Copies of this chain bind each other. A is one copy, B any other.
Amino acid sequence: TYDLCNCKQRFLYQILSTAFLMYQLLMSCNKIQINYLKIIQCDFLYFCFRFRLSQLNCTYDNNYRPLHALFLPDIPVFQDGTGIPLQYWGVFDGHAGSGCAIMASKLLHRLIRDRLGDIAHLLENPSTAPPICLAKNGSPYQAEGKKGANAIQDPEEPDAITDPSIRFHTEKAVSLESLIVGIIENSFKQMDELIEKEKVSYAISGGCCALAAIHLMGKLYVANAGDSRAIIIRKKEVIPMSNEFTPESERQRLQYLGFLRPELLGNEFTHLEFPRRIQHKELGKKMLYRDHTMNGWAYKTIVEDDLKFPLIYGEGKKARVMATIGVTRGLGDHDLKVYNSNIYIKPFLSCCPEVMVYDLSKYQHGPNDVLVMGTDGLWDVTTDREVADAVSSFLSCCEPADPVRYTLAAQELLMRSRGVLKERGWRLPNERLGSGDDITCFVIPLSGPAGPET
């Protein structure tokens, strides 16, 4: 089980120590042997967190803020030569305070590691399908299931199904991969619960978007809750590895909740969307609207209830839930309320990530094939295609043996999206404004020890 006490100490210690370590850094994970660690006793290798400090948020230079990369000093030494290597990368984009992003960057991978430890015996036998059911003592080898000989079915019971072939047809097969996906999903939920539990004692403020990549047993699991993004670049082709969760992309889910649970709207919001605010004198006129069932728009006669503020309002980067928050998934935000009201926003937010799986063994990867993970600050000004082109052309100009070329590629991406300081502010090559948000990105090679050699 998770050692909370010990962790709290580490957590506090690291908050203090990392306050001095922050610097503007672009991180890449190179394929170093030490990345290969045991999953059971220890866990991971690189991780990074990122958050905003509002007091730094006043000049251009400071818009590109802290990305911190730590190689944890306290990785336990593993006891024998065996074990399953695991690599983990996390990007935590905080808002309304740094506490949540810091805590998540310290703990999320440990929660995942611990849950993976619970199914270590399954990971060691990946060719065997996980048992559907485990005995009371949790031992997987006494499970009921397809192992006919071990079946605990009592032949004296009239409804007992002892014929393994019948069982086979009435059971849904669950893969090891989907068990790992479930572990990542539930770890995000547990992380969110931990933040809620600890937020008072440790003054954990705000919330954060979380994007995590886990490399385990030849597969890459990319979990996203928020508006960060990950793509794979393979032979210059873009393969999306995440979707963004914003008021616009999750409008229907939020409206559906507002429709089913109107009390959550606190009599101040309507679950309907309108293209603009309605004025009182417009009662009885017709206005465009859409509800949780619609992607298109239609006219409706305006009634009193429509004068309330729409639950989802605004477009693009300005879209907000309850006029407050611009992302709909992430960790934290338990105390977030609508300004000047008692309406909580958390019920509309989800801490559940979408997990996409990429099977590294299915493709050949060259040295220029990479996973790029970045915060919205990167993707707001640079498209997937532009990122792929920039990374591909940068890497192809590097010396293949250069150990820092992925770091330099990440730096290149960051510089590109920040732009160049001109008379009229930071400008991109196309003269548009550079990203005003802070930017974090990873450029992670898929070949080498991490993937099949080419």
Spell out A's residues near B (CB within 8 Å): 130, 132-136, 138, 144, 154, 157, 159, 167, 170-174, 178-186, 189, 256-257, 260-261, 275-277, 279, 281-282, 284-288, 290, 293-299, 315, 350, 352, 354-355
The verdict on A293 contacting B350 (CB below 8 Å), with A132-B275, A134-B286 known, is yes
A286 CB, nearest partner CB in chain B, Å: 4
Query: Does B297 lie within 8 Å of A178, measured CB to CB?
Result: yes
Query: Does A296 lie within 8 Å of B350, measured CB to CB?
Result: no
Query: Does A298 lie within 8 Å of B132, measured CB to CB?
Result: no
Q: How many copies does the complex hold?
A: 2
The verdict on A182 contacting B296 (CB below 8 Å), with A172-B315, A281-B154, A285-B144 known, is yes
A276 CB, nearest partner CB in chain B, Å: 4
23 contacts between A and B (CB under 8 A): A132-B276, A132-B287, A133-B285, A134-B286, A134-B287, A135-B286, A136-B284, A144-B282, A167-B276, A170-B277, A174-B288, A178-B295, A180-B296, A181-B295, A182-B296, A185-B293, A185-B294, A185-B295, A257-B260, A260-B261, A294-B352, A295-B355, A296-B355
Residues in chain B near residue A284, CB distance under 8 A: 136
Residues in chain B near residue A287, CB distance under 8 A: 132-134
A415 CB, nearest partner CB in chain B, Å: 32
Query: Does B171 lie within 8 Å of A275, measured CB to CB?
Result: yes
Query: Does A285 lie within 8 Å of B182, measured CB to CB?
Result: no
CA distance A285 to B133 in the complex (A): 7
Query: Does B296 lie within 8 Å of A172, measured CB to CB?
Result: no
A142 CB, nearest partner CB in chain B, Å: 10
Which residue of the partner chain, among B154, B167, B296, contacts A181 with CB atoms under 8 Å?
B296
CA distance A130 to B279 in the complex (A): 19
Residues in chain B near residue A295, CB distance under 8 A: 178, 181-182, 185, 354-355
CA distance A355 to B293 in the complex (A): 11
CA distance A154 to B189 in the complex (A): 51
A404 CB, nearest partner CB in chain B, Å: 36
A380 CB, nearest partner CB in chain B, Å: 19
Additional A-B contacts beyond A133-B285, A260-B260 (18; CB < 8 A): A133-B286, A134-B285, A134-B287, A135-B286, A144-B282, A170-B277, A172-B275, A174-B275, A178-B295, A178-B296, A179-B297, A181-B296, A181-B297, A182-B296, A185-B298, A186-B294, A294-B352, A295-B354
A89 CB, nearest partner CB in chain B, Å: 19
Question: Which residue of A154, A159, A186, A257 has the most chain B CB atoms within 10 A of its CB atom?
Answer: A186
CA distance A256 to B295 in the complex (A): 20
Residues in chain B near residue A294, CB distance under 8 A: 181-182, 185-186, 352
Residues in chain B near residue A293, CB distance under 8 A: 185, 189, 350, 352
Residues in chain B near residue A355, CB distance under 8 A: 295-296
Which residue of the partner chain, among B261, B281, B297, contacts A174 with CB atoms under 8 Å?
B297
A117 CB, nearest partner CB in chain B, Å: 13
